[in-house]
Amino acid sequence: MENNKNAKELIDFIHQSPSTFHVVENMSVELTQAGFTPLDLRNAWNLKPGGKYFTVRNGSSLFAFIVGDTNPETSGFRIISTHSDSPTFKLKPSPEMMVEKRLLKLNTEVYGAPVLMSWLDRPLSIAGRVSLKGESALYPENRLVNINRPVAIIPNLAIHLNRAVNEGVELNKQKDMLPLLGIVHGDASEGFIIRMAAKELGVDEADILDFDLTLYDFQQGCIMGVGNEFISCPKLDNLASVHAGLKAILKAKPAKATQMLAVFDNEEVGSVTKQGAGSPVLRNLFERILFHLGKTGEALHRAIYSSFMVSADMAHGVHPNLVEKHDPVLHPIINGGPVIKVHAGQKYTTDGDSGAVFETICRKAGVPSQRFANRSDAVGGSTLGNISTGQLDMRCVDVGNPILSMHSVRELSGVDDHNYMIRALSCFYDMDK
């Protein structure tokens, strides 16, 4: 087994990134330290071939790139697309709810499609973005907050009060999944979250205008298994792909093609936001880079058709207790290498052409690869590839490392697979040198 250094770094990265905003903030720090120049979307840019840059949208999506040569119409772009978000619970406005005048719980809304039962009885915390009064009404001051200690829990109902619990229980998202925050007295519940955030940030409560706060599993991930072969961790879908892509672009050197890492937000809820893959944000950035290389018009279209995208999201590994839930032939296994995902209905963009490209990349990188398809009588999920190519119709392949317990509060992946993916994505960036 390869060194588990990358797995340990992944676990730390996820623990330090309790919200999409923290993901982007932590990536920004690493990129800046590596010599990438931050760019504001509202400012004029001055890009040069070989230059390393990154820009952020909404504080929750990020695009890092190394500008290629002055012939993008033939060199194209090499894009790795991932997403920063994971299923969770978002705090509603005025979320405080009192029970029996003492117990304070929070009114939340489910974000994405989490495995609800996995969130019960776990120490949870709260993190996200708080918007404060700014110099302009149009531009509030946005600050990140992380309570960074276990403050909430979604309690299960004792078996003595629900004897049928082990026969299967349907959890109601509005009733059963509200987290208990603590015991308070009197009117202390009113504005409790605002006060907690203000205290954490060291600001006046009256200066907080709004917030985007979510729950997260406070317990840090770990390496486990009889041979230390597994990674048990929250948010592997899809921060494992984000981390692998980040490692790859940090290692990348300037090449003929422009190399890009696109980290979108809101994949788990359909991607149709200004910072999601369904928006024009990637196409706008694509055109802007070409403009600074002196290319417009037909050169834009030539560059699109000379480009290639690797859509990196996680894949389903074969479940040891429920093998029958999988395709009868294709059984990706943890630590068996990156998975090339195919779907006749095009929920995955992979076709024979793009699958062959990634297979070649894996062989060149010296890593194994696997294939995944759903059972023909089962409806699977979708990912970034077909949404992104709806904006830029370039060749694309959907890939991901195999995991178990996808969308559970803790997922399970492989130490070797994370190393394999980093090597494959690094090879993708290097293929034109």
Give tens-digit pLDDT for 315-357. Answer: 999 999 999 999 999 999 999 999 999 999 888 999 999 999 9
100: left (phi over 0), alpha (psi -120 to 50) or beta: left
Give tens-digit pLDDT for 385-402. Answer: 888 888 899 999 999 999
Give tens-digit pLDDT for 175-231. Answer: 999 999 999 987 888 999 999 999 999 999 999 999 999 999 999 999 999 999 999
Contact 164, 251 (CB under 8 A): no
Paired strand residues for 411: 233
- The pLDDT score that the predictor gives to residue 1 is 46
- The pLDDT score that the predictor gives to residue 378 is 87
Confidence label for 433 from pLDDT (cuts 50, 70 and 90): low
Confidence label for 82 from pLDDT (cuts 50, 70 and 90): very high
Give the Cα separation of 236 and 7 in Å (integer). Answer: 11
Neighbours of 394 (CB within 10 A): 20
Give the Cα separation of 264 and 242 in Å (integer). Answer: 10
pTM greater than 0.85 (yes/no): yes
Percent of the chain with pLDDT strictly greater than 90: 91
Res 155 pLDDT > 50 = yes
Poorest-confidence range of 40-44, 188-192, 202-206, 427-431? 188-192
- Over residues 281-305, the mean pLDDT reads 94
Res 247 pLDDT > 50 = yes
Contact 87, 314 (CB under 8 A): no
Torsion of CA 376, 378, 379, 384, to 10 degrees: -60
Res 41 pLDDT > 70 = yes
Longest Cα pair distance anywhere in the chain, in angstroms? 72
Average pLDDT, the chain: 95
- The pLDDT score that the predictor gives to residue 21 is 98
Smallest Cα–Cα separation from 135: which of 235, 194, 207, 186? 207
- The pLDDT score that the predictor gives to residue 384 is 81
Percent of the chain with pLDDT strictly greater than 70: 99
- Over residues 149-165, the mean pLDDT reads 95
Distances from the Cα of 136 to the Cαs of 3, 133, 140, 145, 199, in angstroms?
Answer: 50, 8, 7, 22, 24
